[in-house]
Structure 1
C-alpha cells in the first residue's frame, strides 16, 4: 500500500495500525500499567511483540516509560498527552463496532474510557 508522507491519515495509520497497537493504547487509557499487566490484558500477545510495540510508541512520544529505582526494578508505562489525544478515535471505533457490527466490550473497563479533554 503506497503511503503519502504528506497525508495526515496515512501518517497516523502508519503509527497506530500495527497489530495490538490500538488495544495497547486502549489499555493504557486507564492509567499507568506494568509490562506484566499489559501482557495479561492483551491475551495472546507475545512478550517480544509487546516490547516492540511499547518501544515504537515511546519513539513516537505516545507512551512514556517510568523506571523506579527499586529492587527489583519497577517499570510502568503511561500515555502521554499525544497518546491521550488518540482516545477519541478508540471511542469512535467502539461506537461504530457496537452500532454496525453488533460488538460489545467483554471487559467492563473497556466500556468507559476516562474523559478526554478536547484536542485542538
Structure 2
C-alpha cells in the first residue's frame, strides 16, 4: 500500500485513546475544519480537538490554525515513518491551542505555517502524551 489516509487514521487513533481513558468523545462530521473531535466532560463543560496527522517525521501544516480558543487543543500525531507497522506506536503531543504559536515556524515568504516534530521534541516535552489535559 503506497497511499495512506493519515488524517483519518490519526483522528481514529486519538478517538480510540480518549475512549481508553474513559472520555465521552465523538468525531465531528461537519465541515468545520478546526474541530475533529468533541469531548463532553460534564453538562456545559466540553473540549474541542483538532487532530494533525503526520506519516513521517518532519512537520505538521498548521495554516488553518487561527487564534487560541478556550478549551481547544491540537493533538499532533506522528507515525515516525512507520505508519504501515501497527506495532510501532505514534508519537503524540497534546497542546492547548493557546500554546501552539510557541512551536510554529513561519516560512520566509509568510505563506506556510508548520509545527516541526523536532521543535516539539525539544521544547514541548510536557505535552508529550499529555492526554490528561483533555480527559
TM-score normalised per structure 1: 0.29
- Which has the higher relative contact order, 1 or 2, with Cα contacts under 8 A spaced 6 or more apart? 1
Bigger proportion of residues as helix: 1
Greater share of strand: 2
State TM-score, norm by structure 2.
0.27
